[in-house]
Structure 1
């Protein structure tokens, strides 16, 4: 685990040779109440389905509780079926949607908001 600043933490998953398989972080977000943090998860292309995200989330849940959060918010692109399935399988529930979000590259997408109560 590494700290990324007040109220944040990130975790990295590696294989036996030290190659990075994925990482996950939680951090405060000014758009969320103080008892909530946001989460982001990234797993190496071609390395999904191996339990990396599951192991990362078990650690992240514990750390989020220790940081004093009551719930975790995930914001997933509506067209990211793998991301939506991942967070759903961890127990996240829909709580909102953001339509017409313009990304840095100019692409406009919708985003699904999911929450996990700690």
Structure 2
């Protein structure tokens, strides 16, 4: 497995992985599928993107992680192929993400995680994020209240 910076050519595979995770449900607040162009703009080379890395094996992207500006803070998003969870992909990507975040001059990284996303909460705790606040009333577009936990990682 190789961890590297995301490139424009990765947009299609990154979108396909994200859209599969959205379709499964339960581990992302994203609810609407995204096009490759949208993923490229939001997570690879758009004006709000700070860092973007992929985990690749052969020609297949197994996961990706990006930091971008959202509501004035540097927020992280992490997406790993559900069939390859708990194999160290997230931790490997985060090591490079932290290096890139420091190079970008960030002091901290924020994560907003659905409160019902048990694997996501465990992942962010495991890599050193600490609770900053919570929003127990956070709801999805269909009205389901799932809550949200906001965490921070000090660089």
Say whether the fold is shared (TM-score over 0.5): yes
- The correspondence for 2:138, drawn from 90, 101, 112, is 101
What TM-score, normalized by structure 2, do the two folds share?
Answer: 0.68
User: Unpaired runs of 5+ in structure 2?
Assistant: 7-43
Normalized per residue, which structure has more helix? Answer: 2
Query: Which runs of structure 2 are paired with 1:1-118 in the superposition (5 Å)?
Result: 1-2=5-6, 3-6=44-47, 8-15=50-57, 17-32=58-73, 37-118=74-155
The root-mean-square deviation of aligned C-alpha atoms, in Å, is 1.5
Kindly tell me the number of residue pairs found equivalent between the two proteins: 113
Tell me which moved more, 3-12 or 49-58.
3-12
Match of 2:22 in 1: none
Which aligned runs of 4 or more in structure 1 are off by greater than 6 angstroms? none
Normalized per residue, which structure has more strand? Answer: 1
Q: What is the SS of the residue equivalent to 2:87?
A: coil
